Chain A
Amino acid sequence: MGQWEVYPEFEVVRSSARCTKCLGCVAQCANGVHQYDGAQLTCDSAKCVDCHRCVAMCPARALKIVKADCALRENSNWDSQTIKEIFKQAQSGGVLLSSMGTPKPYPVYWDKLLLNASQVTNPSIDPLREPMETRVCLGKKPGRPQRGPDGRFTCELPPQLKLAMPMLFSAMSYGSVSYNAHEALARAAEELGVYYNTGEGGLHEDFYAYSPNTIVQVASGRFGVHEGYLNAGAAIEIKMGQGAKPGIGGHLPGTKVGADISRTRMIPEGSDAISPAPHHDIYSIEDLRQLVYSLKQSTHHKKPIIVKVAAVHNIAAIASGIARSGADIIAIDGFRGGTGAAPTRIRDNVGIPIELALAAVDQRLRDEGIRNQVGIIAGGSIRSSADVAKAIALGADAVYIATAALLALGCHLCRTCQTGMCNWGIATQRPELVARLDPKEGAKRLVNLMTAWNHEIMEMLGGMGINSIEALRGNRLMLRGIGLTAKELEILGVAHAGE
């Protein structure tokens, strides 16, 4: 310790009785917590990020990580995290940089919404024995049935994304996550009949094989964007914003731009990959419309265009503008969403929860009679199938999932992605760490998770006496609020439990 150091947040505890000195922990920890000098094994807890890699891999179960009880004097105004942040900035002069979604105790409205179930009338349905539809088509729907000159229905629709279940993997760039993480997501999307999203890091040459299940992203930096990339995707997503950092661009440091990332992003090795905060050609809905149509034109009007925005204060009006821009799908990302790196102050203080944003957008588009013109994807911390069902009842067509998908791949949410030292091989580009993530096993775990969630969704639907996900969309009668204010209930458009 020194004058400007704080006692470590975690302590690594080794049971000398159980430890066999196999030195597995030394090899496993890229942060250098465990060291062996030829005679003794020591731990430097100050380097520990609590990722649990060593704990999980210790064959003797000799390790545990505990929260240190050496605490700064408690103060509910100046809590220890706030004090430590001031120490860090006084030491470095730097902007605080964090990873994953905000840990602050903002309300999670999913946990204050309850689903309905049938009793006596409108009997519930058993999904094991009766047909249950969870397929979703995302895209523009005609306002009314169209008939040809012969009186028959014309069934030509604008391009749609067909999902076997109402869930997609949201954008994570190659660069923010590893090659093996991308491969696992791509394999799982293909097997599940859903989609994964390249993020703004381009599409690796090996993954063009998965293009029918790939959404390609166009962000302000246009990394890896070219005609072949645009035509490879099943859909194109314009990234205007991200829930974890609304109004902020992206920045992949040059240290992470190795040969393979350089090839995929099409920038020189070692060069910073800077995504500016705005798209410099978009100042209005008309300008957005121009980008939407330039992409449609370049892909011969065969691909749905998604516009992804962060949930912010005037999200309903913004979404209305996007719907009128010609976009086929709006993706709304709530402020609890994850990130590979974001300025702490932005992540923890900017944006609004997805639940309120989604309800406001769905209501606004219905009021304006244009809800059918766009599909809605909601994201920003969807943690379970119950969250999915509630999001759909609030008006989403489908949800974006990222943090939960990373957990399925082994992430333990230690929230230090920005270091690039992920011991689980996910948020790193170091070959020896990436190799720890088996893409096939990862894909299998993703398929397990999504399949389980889909089954749970079917059970919840069945309980409500509904046999298709379409009948739940925007069906807020299936929701009741618990412990919410009248204003919150008004925005969510739901009655209180007991009403």
Chain B
Amino acid sequence: MAYKIEAQGLDAAGLGRQIQAHPGPVEVVGCLGQRFIGAGMQRKKIRVTGIPGNALGAYLNGGEIEVCANAQDAVGDTMNDGTIVIHGDVGDTVGYAMRGGEIYVEGSAGYRAGVHMKEYQDKVPVMVIGGRAGSFLGEYQAGGVILVLGLTGSGPIAGNFPCAGMHGGKVLLRCRPEELLFPGQVTALPASAQDLDAVRPYLEEFCRRFGKDLSVILNAPFTLAVPDSRNPYRQMYVAN
């Protein structure tokens, strides 16, 4: 059984101390915007009801955070490992510079989802957004996998300037390539069966977490966006 922490009346630091004090799984109830929940955490499971504040799971290094509501900005900032599951929408810069671990969002994400996401050796971060993403999706992306499924919401599946400055990793969107305008250094083509096979485990995990039907998700065209070069600025400078 998870140890229950009543968040009401606690500030971010106080809540953090209580979470840290319990080695086993904890359930934070009545959360009212407390920031930094699980920041720098190494292991254990946190379940949050109520609304958590910004920077949930920043520098997360293991374990799992599950939020039964919307989350705010900077979820999983500089995350290195572990899992974050959001049963709702997330704010801006979800997964900023994340290097490892997995983020599953049932709903939509704000601006700059996955900005400067990177990968290193066996660390390949994954972010699955069930709904839509705001502008600058995957900006400066240097590694990892971003999936946007467009299952909820309306309008384009991602906002303006997807993959601006991208120089590594891949973005898969459940739409046709011509539905979005990509920058010059990115190649966006219809995803092949192999492309989808490579991310199938993440889609299965998404379906398991949120009770979705994989066959429905796969019954639509996907676009794969990858950068043309890992060295986008090679020709830009002259020594002076």
Residues in A lying within 8 Å of B, measured CB to CB: 85, 88-89, 91-98, 218, 220-222, 225-228, 230-231, 251, 253-254, 262, 266-268, 270-272, 274, 276, 280-281, 290-291, 293-294, 297-301, 343-344, 416, 418-419
- Docked pose: A344 CA to B238 CA in angstroms: 10
Contacts of A280 in B (CB 8 A): 93, 96, 112, 115-116, 139
Chain-A contact segment, one of B118-126, B153-161, B171-179, B196-204: B118-126
Contacts of A92 in B (CB 8 A): 238
B13 within 8 A of A: yes
Contacts of B73 in A (CB 8 A): 281
B240–A298 contact, CB under 8 A? no
Question: Interface majority SS on B: helix, strand, loop or mixed?
Answer: loop
Give A273's nearest chain B residue, CB to CB.
B142
Contacts of B24 in A (CB 8 A): none
Could you say which interface size class chain B belongs to?
35 or more
- Docked pose: A299 CA to B40 CA in angstroms: 8
Give A345's nearest chain B residue, CB to CB.
B240
With A276-B165, A297-B12, A298-B58 in contact, is A226–B238 under 8 Å at CB? Answer: no
B118–A281 contact, CB under 8 A? no
B167 within 8 A of A: yes
B96–A294 contact, CB under 8 A? no
Give 6 CB contacts A-B under 8 Å: A222-B96, A227-B40, A276-B165, A294-B74, A297-B36, A418-B239
B230–A294 contact, CB under 8 A? no
B99–A226 contact, CB under 8 A? yes
- Docked pose: A419 CA to B237 CA in angstroms: 11
B109-153 near A? 1/0 per residue, CB < 8 Å? 000100110111101000000000000000110110000000000
Among B55, B80, B236, the residue within 8 A (CB) of A294 is B55
A222–B116 contact, CB under 8 A? yes
B215 within 8 A of A: no
B74–A290 contact, CB under 8 A? yes
B230–A272 contact, CB under 8 A? yes
Residues in B lying within 8 Å of A, measured CB to CB: 12-13, 16, 20, 35-36, 39-40, 42, 54-55, 58-59, 61, 73-74, 77-78, 80, 92-93, 96-97, 99, 112, 115-116, 118-121, 123, 139-140, 142-143, 165, 167-168, 230-240
A281–B93 contact, CB under 8 A? yes
B97–A222 contact, CB under 8 A? yes
B231–A89 contact, CB under 8 A? no
Contacts of B167 in A (CB 8 A): 271-272, 274
Among A93, A95, A267, A294, the residue within 8 A (CB) of B142 is A267
A268–B112 contact, CB under 8 A? no
- Docked pose: A227 CA to B239 CA in angstroms: 37
B77–A416 contact, CB under 8 A? no
With A92-B238, A95-B238 in contact, is A297–B77 under 8 Å at CB? Answer: no
Contacts of A85 in B (CB 8 A): 240
Distance (Å) between the CB of B25 and the closest chain A CB? 19
Contacts of B96 in A (CB 8 A): 222, 280-281
Give A272's nearest chain B residue, CB to CB.
B231
A225–B240 contact, CB under 8 A? no
Distance (Å) between the CB of A426 and the closest chain B CB? 17
With A266-B120, A267-B118 in contact, is A290–B35 under 8 Å at CB? Answer: yes
Distance (Å) between the CB of B55 and the closest chain A CB? 4
With A94-B238, A271-B167, A294-B35 in contact, is A276–B116 under 8 Å at CB? Answer: yes
Chain A to chain B: the 8 pairs with minimum beta-carbon distance, closest first? A298-B40, A94-B238, A222-B97, A96-B240, A297-B36, A92-B238, A227-B61, A97-B237
- Docked pose: A300 CA to B13 CA in angstroms: 9
A221–B40 contact, CB under 8 A? no
Contacts of B112 in A (CB 8 A): 280
- Docked pose: A371 CA to B73 CA in angstroms: 31
- Docked pose: A99 CA to B221 CA in angstroms: 49
A301–B240 contact, CB under 8 A? no
Distance (Å) between the CB of A217 and the closest chain B CB? 13
A272–B238 contact, CB under 8 A? no
- Docked pose: A280 CA to B40 CA in angstroms: 20
With A266-B123, A280-B115 in contact, is A298–B142 under 8 Å at CB? Answer: no
B118–A266 contact, CB under 8 A? yes
A272–B40 contact, CB under 8 A? no
A297–B16 contact, CB under 8 A? yes
- Docked pose: A291 CA to B58 CA in angstroms: 9
Distance (Å) between the CB of B236 and the closest chain A CB? 6
B143–A267 contact, CB under 8 A? yes
Contacts of B118 in A (CB 8 A): 266-267
Contacts of A291 in B (CB 8 A): 55
Among A221, A290, A416, the residue within 8 A (CB) of B54 is A290
Q: Which of B115, B143, B165, B230 has the most CB of A within 10 A?
A: B230
